[in-house]
Amino acid sequence: MKALRENFLYYLTVEKGLADNTVASYQFDLKSFILFLTQKGITDIKEVSRHDIMAYLLSLKKQNKSHATIARQMACLKSFFHFLLREKIINEDPTCHLETPKLAQLFPRVLSMEETEHLLNQPDSETVLGLRDKAMLELIYATGLRVSELVNLNVQDINMEMGFLRCIGKGAKERIVPIGSYAIDAVNRYLKKSRVKLVKRSKEEALFVNQHGKRLTRQGFWKILKGYAKQAKISINITPHTLRHSIATHLLENGADLRTVQEILGHADITTTQIYTHLTKTHLKEVYDHCHPRAK
């Protein structure tokens, strides 16, 4: 089964062109599923039945896995067995007619504009690392980049004079994103006063580097963000994606149209972007209830 899993992952990467993070998630999910089968004494993929898959999903539920995790696992298994059927390794697809669990529509948590400004002001711009952190926070908020897109930026990907950057998003899709003056100023100061002190070798292409002069990792940025969120006494559990959600909401609250926000965030489907309209409507209702003399 391990060989079949590797063939499937190769298919996802080469033929389907899925993003590395998606393939990594499927790899983890399949490893978990195969371990479950092994513990049940099933070593041949042809022996897997619909009942086995339902038992696996039930085991995830008993482990208090989230609806999102269970739905992702189901999507992974459907794709995996569809691949095996296409390759004529199995004769019947045990996931056929199994429904993916419906997810409750959970709106993402976002920062208010005041909280965002407070967070962005946390780095100490008098220090080398503070200048870098200020540039990263300003840039990710200005552009709505995913954390992987941020840390994968190279110096040549950003054009200060034109006020744009180039990034590679999900599915290796390239997009051009505008940058505001605050972010441009912060990145300029980082390049002139901080990066030159951090980089150890002249050939380093990464825009943002760690204290050893190497490209900063996703985990590294996450840790930095958590530290500043705690310093700023942000009440919600903040993640890099929180900033992405926040810029989308703030843009819509200030009059941006849905298509523009879709282009900036790099959403393939506008329905993904539409979730933020619900957030802005919630905000609108809160403002109305608070400000209108006859709201209550």
Place of tokens 């004529």: 88
Residue 296 CA to residue 294 CA, distance in Å, equals: 6
- Find the catalytic residue in 132, 134, 244, 245: 244
- Find the catalytic residue in 132, 134, 146, 245: 146
> Six-digit token pair at 137?
């926070």
Residue among 165, 144, 163, 146 nearest 154 (CA)? 165
- Per the annotation, the verdict on 244 as an active-site residue is yes
- Per the annotation, the verdict on 241 as an active-site residue is yes
- Per the annotation, the verdict on 189 as an active-site residue is no
Residue 128 CA to residue 217 CA, distance in Å, equals: 18
- Per the annotation, the verdict on 276 as an active-site residue is yes
- Find the catalytic residue in 241, 278, 281, 285: 241
Half-sphere exposure (Cβ direction) of 96: Cα atoms closer than 13 Å: 10
Residue among 271, 277, 242 nearest 257 (CA)? 277
- Find the catalytic residue in 65, 78, 82, 170: 170
Check if the beta carbon of residue 155 is closer than 8 Å to that of residue 162.
no
- Per the annotation, the verdict on 146 as an active-site residue is yes
- Find the catalytic residue in 141, 190, 228, 276: 276
> Six-digit token pair at 9?
């992952």
Measured CA to CA in angstroms, residue 76 lies from 35, 42, 43, 56, 259 at distances of 15, 19, 19, 13, 30
Catalytic positions are 146, 170, 241, 244, 267, 276
